[in-house]
Chain A
Amino acid sequence: MEQSMIDQLGDELYQAYQERRTIQPFTERDLDITLEDAYQIQQRFMAQRLAAGETVVGKKIGVTSRPVQDFLGVFQPDFGILTSAMEIKGDNVVDLNGLIQPKAEAELAFVLKEDLNGPGVTAMDVIRATDYVVPCFEIVDSRINDWKIKIQDTVADNASCGVYVLGDAKGDPKKLDLTLAGMVLRKNGELYSTSVGAAVQGSPVNAVAWLANTLGELGIPFKAGEVILSGSQSELVSVQDGDELECTVGGLGSCSVRFTGRSAV
């Protein structure tokens, strides 16, 4: 794909993001878009956001578990960039007015204390380089019409990242069984679903190692202090004004989030 087209599509996504509206999937246009093209479009999209003042604070891994893969009909993981504008701090309230067509995912976040330079990163390196893990919600959002995304669409759209909320329960990965740790997700106090870490690529640690290696091939390191969202362990949960979600991870603790306002769609 021509660089000019990549820039044009990246700018189109940035405009949709700014105006909180959706656009036609790139894969439904006569573009013959490859996965590589899609990542280049993502770079352009995010370069615009960084130019506008956001800073990189981490990475996210997407499409890691069966429920999400089934929902999207996409059967490989992908990644996106986390920026300073995406972290919800303090009261853990997500203002839906700032989002388009959000859905919530419960997952585990890794906060690094050392750089990780792939390729060649193993699960052992991830555990060593992790400062702590914390239960979190990622509120995914799509700038693509009706979430009608193929892998190229979601990749170009920064892996459909919206905002994220970290819980308070920080855990040492050397004291936890991240593979078998259960996760209980409640919506408005009622049991919504249960899961385990193994839902994500056999273990969330594997997902983080995968991304370290994938980014390493592209010459992008994980930096100490970065937040890595390891991928949803739950189904995608629809949310609206007044909803409350809580996820609790066995041996670790909880993350809660409340939603107010109305999303664009």
Chain B
Amino acid sequence: MRSTIDRDTLVRLCERVEGAQTRAYAIPKLTNEYSELAMADSYAIQMALLERFLEQGHKLIGWKAGLTSKAKMKQMGVEQPTIGFLTDRMARPENSVISTSDLVHPRVECEIAFVTKAPLSGPDCTAAEVMAATDYVMPAIEVIDSRFAGFKFDLESVVADNSSSARFVGGGRPRYANELELDTLGVVLEKNGEMVEMGAGAAVMEHPAEAVAMLVNILAELDRELPAGSFVMSGGITAAVAVQPGDYVTARFQELGSVSVKFGE
């Protein structure tokens, strides 16, 4: 992907997203001002944001796939999912209290996370290669947060906003991926003890490893590889559920145990 955006604009938009993320306020979607913003520009902004965070001492630990369900892709009129980076600052322990005061529109999703033991690179990375390079899988809750006002956004703005990445919680029981049927693996999302969403792994591009392969292929377009030891969240199996202070969320996975987290002020 080759961005044609000029350096000044790139820096300005990157700073705008960084401000919204770090100080938790909503901004208008970027395309209001830059209607010609293309996907390559959006990823350029996301990579610039990553560089800034790394300069500030954040550590890159992996990536996430977004818009991985067919329904969501159709809805947004896109052919492939989006990706976003994950840093140590976004990680939260299982059963901890996640503060919502530094988030704008927090919502939770259940995902299967992959931890890799060998590097993966695209283009043409396949699900079979992903499975072979996977050390283990584990259940995860992703807290996504769109920093755009009134939920008005488009794909270009979302990608620049690091594909709505905010927080994530890994937990439950790690398992070897090849011992599981990840497509028929069932998941229930409970909020305050009530089942609110459910589904099975196939909701993510027929098989979660397909989403990871796609992610690797998008990284290749950004001249990046996925190094061994990466933590990759393969995309929401369930629809995203809004949370507020006081909510207690549990994701229960077939074969993988559960992950719980609370939300506070």
A183, A191, A195, A196: which has the most chain B beta carbons within 10 Å? A196
Residue on B nearest A65 in the bound complex, by CB: B198
Q: Please state if B70 and A182 are interface contacts (CB–CB under 8 Å).
A: no
A95 CB to closest chain B CB (Å) equals 29
Residue on B nearest A197 in the bound complex, by CB: B186
B181 within 8 A of A: yes
* Option from B184, B199, B202, B237 in Cβ contact (under 8 Å) with A181: B184
* Option from A180, A195, A197, A248 in Cβ contact (under 8 Å) with B253: A180
Q: Please state if B198 and A196 are interface contacts (CB–CB under 8 Å).
A: yes
Chain B residue contacts of A248, Cβ below 8 A:
183-184
Provide 19 A-B residue pairs closer than 8 Å at the C-beta atoms, listed in order of the A residue.
A180-B186, A180-B254, A181-B184, A181-B186, A181-B254, A184-B184, A184-B200, A191-B203, A194-B199, A194-B237, A195-B198, A195-B199, A196-B200, A198-B186, A198-B188, A248-B184, A249-B184, A250-B254, A251-B181
Q: Please state if A184 and B183 are interface contacts (CB–CB under 8 Å).
A: yes
B66 within 8 A of A: no
Q: What is the size, in residues, of chain A's interface with B at 8 Å between Cβ atoms? A: 19
A231 CB to closest chain B CB (Å) equals 14
A16 within 8 A of B: no
Q: Please state if A250 and B195 are interface contacts (CB–CB under 8 Å).
A: no
A127 within 8 A of B: no
Q: Please state if B254 and A191 are interface contacts (CB–CB under 8 Å).
A: no
Contact residues of B between 158 and 217, Cβ < 8 Å to A? 181, 183-188, 195, 198-203, 206
Chain A residue contacts of B94, Cβ below 8 A:
none
Binding site for A on B (CB under 8 A): 70, 181, 183-188, 195, 198-203, 206, 237, 252-255
A241 within 8 A of B: no
* Option from B186, B252, B253 in Cβ contact (under 8 Å) with A183: B186
A36 within 8 A of B: no
B176 CB to closest chain A CB (Å) equals 16
Q: Please state if A180 and B181 are interface contacts (CB–CB under 8 Å).
A: no
A212 CB to closest chain B CB (Å) equals 23
A146 within 8 A of B: no
Q: Please state if B200 and A195 are interface contacts (CB–CB under 8 Å).
A: yes
Q: Please state if A183 and B255 are interface contacts (CB–CB under 8 Å).
A: no
Known: A191-B70, A194-B203, A194-B237. A250 touches B198 (CB 8 A): no
Binding site for B on A (CB under 8 A): 177, 179-184, 191, 194-199, 202, 248-251
Chain A residue contacts of B255, Cβ below 8 A:
177, 180, 250-251
Q: Please state if B254 and A182 are interface contacts (CB–CB under 8 Å).
A: yes
Residue on B nearest A254 in the bound complex, by CB: B184
Residue on B nearest A198 in the bound complex, by CB: B188
Query: Given known contacts A182-B254, A196-B199, what 10 new A-B pairs fall within 8 Å (CB)?
Result: A177-B186, A182-B184, A182-B201, A183-B184, A183-B186, A184-B184, A191-B203, A194-B203, A251-B181, A251-B255
Chain A residue contacts of B186, Cβ below 8 A:
177, 180-183, 195-198, 250
Cα–Cα distance between A180 and B173 once the two chains are bound (Å): 15
Cα–Cα distance between A102 and B185 once the two chains are bound (Å): 29
Known: A194-B200, A198-B195. A251 touches B206 (CB 8 A): no
B134 CB to closest chain A CB (Å) equals 19
Closest 7 CB pairs of A and B: A182-B200, A182-B186, A250-B184, A196-B186, A194-B200, A180-B254, A184-B202
Cα–Cα distance between A248 and B182 once the two chains are bound (Å): 12
Q: Please state if B195 and A182 are interface contacts (CB–CB under 8 Å).
A: no
Residue on A nearest B190 in the bound complex, by CB: A198
Chain A residue contacts of B195, Cβ below 8 A:
198, 202
Chain A residue contacts of B70, Cβ below 8 A:
191
A230 CB to closest chain B CB (Å) equals 15
A247 CB to closest chain B CB (Å) equals 10
Chain B residue contacts of A202, Cβ below 8 A:
195
Chain A residue contacts of B183, Cβ below 8 A:
182, 184, 248
B194 CB to closest chain A CB (Å) equals 11
Q: Please state if B252 and A180 are interface contacts (CB–CB under 8 Å).
A: yes
Q: Please state if B202 and A251 are interface contacts (CB–CB under 8 Å).
A: no
Chain A residue contacts of B202, Cβ below 8 A:
182, 184, 191, 194
Q: Please state if A196 and B203 are interface contacts (CB–CB under 8 Å).
A: no
Residue on B nearest A195 in the bound complex, by CB: B198
A153 CB to closest chain B CB (Å) equals 28
Cα–Cα distance between A248 and B186 once the two chains are bound (Å): 11
Q: Please state if B206 and A182 are interface contacts (CB–CB under 8 Å).
A: no
Cα–Cα distance between A179 and B188 once the two chains are bound (Å): 9
Cα–Cα distance between A180 and B190 once the two chains are bound (Å): 12
Residue on B nearest A184 in the bound complex, by CB: B202
Cα–Cα distance between A202 and B200 once the two chains are bound (Å): 16
B171 CB to closest chain A CB (Å) equals 15
Cα–Cα distance between A248 and B206 once the two chains are bound (Å): 13
Q: Please state if A250 and B200 are interface contacts (CB–CB under 8 Å).
A: yes
Q: Please state if B184 and A180 are interface contacts (CB–CB under 8 Å).
A: no
Cα–Cα distance between A194 and B206 once the two chains are bound (Å): 10
Chain B residue contacts of A199, Cβ below 8 A:
198
Cα–Cα distance between A181 and B255 once the two chains are bound (Å): 9
